[in-house]
Amino acid sequence: MILSILFTLVGVLLISIVLFDVFMTVLHPQAESPFSTRFQTSMWSFLRWASRGLRGRVRHRFLGLAIPIMVAGLIALWIGLLLVAFGVIYAAWIDAPGAFKLPDPLIAPGWWDALYFSGVTITTTGYGDSYRLTHSCVSLPYWRE
């Protein structure tokens, strides 16, 4: 039980950091954010390294794609971090009796089931093969949508 609460707190902390990062990136772009600044700096360095063999207009056009690539990559990073954060929260409670209904009740649920459930909940309205049963787990996806 204490481990479940600890995992839940870690997941909530990661969600808070991602939301703070989104806030700082979108509304205060001149400020340092926990993930965005490092990600964009690393991506720019990589793209400059990848273009070192190109010359002239080709290099200029290649580096002109940096902003769209960095924006798409940053959004993917945020979604991935949220997937992991909610997966950690779900993993803390997925083996609690009566919390989730899984397709095969004989197989013990694990981390992959929690990440699968988190990914399905983030990207779709769900498949219906696994779903929440307790009130606290039912209200969690509505909070994040």
Q: What is the pairing mode between strands 131-132 and 100-101?
A: antiparallel
Question: How far is residue 67's CA from residue 29's CA, in Å, rounded to a whole number?
Answer: 14
pLDDT at residue number 131: 60
The helix-helix angle for 135-144 and 111-123 (nearest 10°) equals 50
Percent of the chain that is helix, strand, coil (3-state, to 5): 70, 5, 30
pLDDT at residue number 132: 61
* pLDDT tens, per residue, the chain with 145 residues: 788 889 889 999 999 999 999 999 988 878 888 889 899 999 999 999 999 999 999 999 999 999 999 999 999 999 999 999 999 988 888 877 777 777 776 777 778 888 888 888 787 765 665 566 666 655 555 554 4
